[in-house]
Amino acid sequence: MSSPPALEISGLTKRYRKLVAVDDLSLTIPGGEFVGFIGPNGAGKSSTMSCIAGVIAPDEGSVSISGVDVVQDPVAARRRLGYVPQHLSLLDYLTGEEYLHFIADLRELDAAQRDEETEELLTLTELTDARDTILKEYSGGMVRKLAIAAAIIGGPAVLVLDESFVGLDPESTYRIRKRLRRHCDDGGSILLSSHILDMLEPLCDRFVVIHQGGLVSDLTAAELKDLKSSGDVDSLTEHYLAVTGKATGAEDRERQEKEEAADSEAAASS
C-alpha cells in the first residue's frame, strides 16, 4: 500500500461573513516536494495556511497531513507539522533553548535527538549565545529565526511557512534556505508563502498561485523552465502577473484587511 501524501487539501472553503477567503481549494503535495505558495495580498494564502495548521476550522472541505485529518485528530496532525505564521507569538518567558526543547517534547523526540538537533539549529540560526535569554528580550529577527528552528526540529512531515524570511538578513536567509532544501531532500515537504518571487524561483520544485481564494496556476519548476525556453514568459514573476490578471491594489488590500481581521477574531475566541 502506498503512503498517503504529505499534505492533502480537498475542497477547502473558508468564509468570513460575506467574504470567501478560500474557495473550494484542492491541492496535494507528496513527500520531498518544495512548493512555493504565491498570490496577491488577500488572495487567501494565510487563511489556507491557518486551516492547515488547525488555527482556524474550514467551513467546507478537509485537510490531512500524512493521512491524519487536521480537524478530526488535531494533536496527531500537529505532531507532523512545523508551522511559522506571518505574525508570530511565542512563549515569551521561555529561553530559546527551553522553547526548542518544548517543541521537541511535543514531537516526542528522545533526549539525545532533542539535544543534538537543538545544538544544530541554534548554530544554524546564530542563536547559541542567546540560548539562555528569554524570548521577551529577543529582537524581531531573532524570534523569527527561532520560530523557523522550532518548525524544523524533529523533521516533521510538512513545514508550512508564511512569509518566514521577512526581516531576516541575507546571511541568515541563505543558511536557512539551504537547511530547508535539505529537509525536502530527506523526504519532508514544504509549503512556503513569499512575495519574493526571485528567491522562490531557484528554490522550489513547484509553484502554486492562488487569486481571490481560488487556484489559478499549478506548475512544476520544469514546466516553468519550458515556458521560459519557449519565450512565453521570462520569469516566475511574469507568469504570476499573467495568471493573476489586473486585480487592483485597492481590491487586494480590502480582502487582506478583512481576512486579517477575521483571523484575529478567530484567534481571540479560540
* CA-wise closest residue to 200 among 228, 242, 235: 235
**pLDDT tens, residue by residue, 110-141:** 999 999 999 999 999 999 999 999 999 999 89
The SS3 call for residue 225 is helix
Q: What is the DSSP string of 33-67?
A: -EEEEE--TTSSHHHHHHHHHTSS--SEEEEEETT
Q: Considering the chain, what is the average pLDDT of its residues?
A: 90
Distance between CA atoms of 59 and 178, rounded to whole angstroms? 36
Higher pLDDT, residue 252 or 139: 139
**pLDDT tens, residue by residue, 155-212:** 999 999 998 888 888 999 999 999 999 999 999 999 999 988 999 999 999 999 999 9
Question: 0.85 cut: is pTM over it?
Answer: yes
